[in-house]
Amino acid sequence: MATEDKNRATAAAILPLVGGAANVSSIAHCMTRLRLGLHDRTLVDDEALKAVPAVMGVVEDDTYQIVLGPGTVARVTPEFEQLVEEGRASAPETPGPVHTAEELADKGAALKAQQKTKNSTPFKLFLRKIANIFVPLIPALIGCGIIAGLNGLLVNLGWLTSVTPALAAMASGFMALIAVFVGYNTAKEFGGTPILGGAVAAIIVFPGVANIDAFGQTLSPGQGGVLGALGAAVLAVYVEKWCRRWVPEALDVLVTPTLTVLISGLVTIFGLMYVAGEVSSAIGTFADWLLSTGGAGAGFLLGGFFLPLVMLGLHQALIPIHTTLIEQQGFTVLLPILAMAGAGQVGAAAAVYLRLPRNESIRRTIRSAMPAGLLGVGEPLIYGVSLPLGRPFITACVGGAFGGGFVGLFNQLGDSVGSTAIGPSGWALFPLLDGNHGLGSTIAIYAGGLLVGYVAGFVATYFFGFGKALLTEFNVSQEPAPSTVAATGPAAASGGTPAKEPAGV
Closest to 41 in 3D by CA, of 59, 55, 28, 29: 59
pLDDT of residue 479: 53
- Asked if residue 389 lies in contact with residue 382, where contact means CB atoms within 8 angstroms, the answer is no
CB atoms within 10 A of CB 156: 10
Q: Is the pLDDT of residue 94 over 70?
A: no
Q: Which residue has the higher pLDDT, 452 or 477?
A: 452
Closest to 449 in 3D by CA, of 348, 306, 300: 300
> What would the mean pLDDT of 410-433 be, rounded to a whole number?
88
**pLDDT tens digits for range 252-261:** 889 999 999 9
pLDDT of residue 118: 55
> What would the mean pLDDT of 298-304 be, rounded to a whole number?
93
Which pLDDT band holds residue 91 (cuts at 50, 70, 90)? low
The dihedral built from the CA positions of residue 139, 223, 176 and 336, taken in this order, carries a sign that is: negative
How far is it, in rounded angstroms, from Cα 96 to Cα 277? 57
> What would the mean pLDDT of 332-361 be, rounded to a whole number?
92
Q: Give, in order, the Cα–Cα distances in Å from 384 to each of 31, 243, 325, 451.
A: 19, 50, 33, 23
Pick from 2-11, 161-170, 242-251: least confident? 2-11
pLDDT of residue 153: 79
pLDDT of residue 428: 86
- Asked if residue 182 lies in contact with residue 165, where contact means CB atoms within 8 angstroms, the answer is no
Q: Which residue has the higher pLDDT, 500 or 77?
A: 77
Q: Is the pLDDT of residue 398 over 60?
A: yes
Q: Is the model's pTM score more than 0.85?
A: no
> What would the mean pLDDT of 257-277 be, rounded to a whole number?
94
> What would the mean pLDDT of 58-85 be, rounded to a whole number?
84
How far is it, in rounded angstroms, from Cα 365 to Cα 375? 16
Helix, strand and coil content of the chain, in percent to the nearest 5, comes to 70, 5, 20
Name the DSSP letter for residue 434: E
Look at phi and psi of residue 424 and say left if phi exceeds 0, alpha if psi is from -120 to 50, else beta: beta
- Asked if residue 477 lies in contact with residue 359, where contact means CB atoms within 8 angstroms, the answer is yes
Pick from 221-235, 251-265, 356-370, 491-505: least confident? 491-505
Beta strand 24-29 with 57-60: parallel, antiparallel or unpaired? Answer: unpaired
Q: Which residue has the higher pLDDT, 182 or 368?
A: 182
> What would the mean pLDDT of 365-386 be, rounded to a whole number?
83
DSSP H helices in 330-359: 334-338, 340-355
| Core vs surface per residue 379-396: b (16+ CB within 10 A) or e | bbbbbbbbbbbebbbbbb
Query: At a CB cut-off of 8 Å and minimum separation 6, what does 19 contact?
Result: 38, 39, 40, 43, 44
> What would the mean pLDDT of 329-349 be, rounded to a whole number?
93
How far is it, in rounded angstroms, from Cα 341 to Cα 273? 35
Which of 188-202, 212-226, 287-301, 416-430 is predicted most confidently? 188-202
CB atoms within 10 A of CB 45: 12
**Secondary structure, 3-state, 455-501:** HHHHHHHHHHCCCHHHHHHHCCCCCCCHHHCCCCCHHHHCCCCCCCC
pLDDT of residue 125: 74
Q: What is the mean pLDDT of the chain?
A: 83
**pLDDT tens digits for range 36-48:** 988 888 888 888 8
- Asked if residue 289 lies in contact with residue 411, where contact means CB atoms within 8 angstroms, the answer is no
pLDDT of residue 407: 95
For residue 67, what is the enclosing H or E element? strand 64-67
Q: Is the pLDDT of residue 225 over 50?
A: yes
pLDDT of residue 442: 92
**Secondary structure, 3-state, 261-320:** HHHHHHHHHHHHHHHHHHHHHHHHHHHHHHHHHHCHHHHHHHHHHHHHHHHHCHHHHHHH
- The amino acid sitting at 293 is T
C-alpha angle 306/308/313, rounded to 5°?
Answer: 90
Pick from 116-120, 138-142, 268-272, 332-336: least confident? 116-120
Which pLDDT band holds residue 498 (cuts at 50, 70, 90)? very low
DSSP H helices in 135-163: 138-157
Q: Is the pLDDT of residue 203 over 60?
A: yes
pLDDT of residue 464: 93
Pick from 62-71, 212-221, 361-370, 478-487: least confident? 478-487
Query: Which one is catalytic: 30, 144, 243, 397?
Result: 30
Active site residue 144: no
Q: Which residue has the higher pLDDT, 314 or 454?
A: 454
For residue 66, what is the enclosing H or E element? strand 64-67
**Secondary structure, 3-state, 215-227:** CCEECCCCCCHHH
